[in-house]
Amino acid sequence: MASICAVCKKSSEVGGRIYNCDSCRRPLHADCIGLTATEIKALDLRQRVLKRFCLDCEKGLACLPEVLCKLNNLTDTVNKIDKFIYGNEDSTASLFKSEIVNEINDRVLRKNNVIFYNAKESDSELPEERKNFDLKIVMKSLSKICTVSETDIVKVLRLGKIKSDGKPRPIKIIFNDHGLALKILKDKHKCEKPYAINGDLTLQQRDQLKALREELDILNKDEELKTIKFINGSPKIVNKRDYEKGKENENVKKDQLKNRRKN
């Protein structure tokens, strides 16, 4: 069976040689990730040293030094506070690290998921019919955002117990590709009403977002000048005009880059 490139969505039979990312193992065409002839030869060696990563994993690796630096600084601060209060340098720091690791693991488990809201529930009592009913609604709505096939979806499931007020429970959609989940979240504004889409946030992320919304209400009390946007995966309060202007400049640069590649 031919592998499908995670970038262009074409098979190895169409786009040429496929290589797997050394981190997430997603299949990628050599051309789609810009491999040179020298790099291809190096990757074909039996005992190769060269590693090849997809763009998502490269971005993650680029952030690691900064994350580790911040983690070490936070750990040092906690150790100093703990030593000052309790005379114990390790207990609180160990707990702090454990909480960070648990949060990271939780976010990794949720990274391929999106939450779909306001979808009517099936009246059927048969689980399989209810599942197919939900899948049909999801597929129809997602098709307005981007190209999605049923093979891209690992699972769809309703969250929580059936509510007595008849309000539909949200649907968790689990994709087999993190990139597809990101694309859908990026273009979620294209989702037709009454449906809505959001990321699958951890409890800590939900608490953070709630606090930001409360802060936003205070800042926009007189005039709505600020909004919340996800920047590098984290929600932040930004100035609306500055954010929109930055987006416009970013789109202009992308168009210029596309034109250069065509030429």
- pLDDT-derived band at 74 (thresholds 50, 70, 90) equals confident
Residue 244's φ and ψ, nearest 5 degrees, are -65, -40
Query: Which pLDDT tens digit goes with each residue over 75-90?
Result: 888 777 766 655 554 5
Q: Are 146 and 170 in contact (CB under 8 A)?
A: no
Residue 248 has pLDDT above 60, yes or no: yes
Dihedral of CA atoms 106, 110, 116, 118 in degrees, nearest 10, equals -10
pLDDT value of residue 221 = 79
Taking the C-alpha atoms of residue 114 and residue 134, their distance in angstroms, rounded to an integer, is: 14
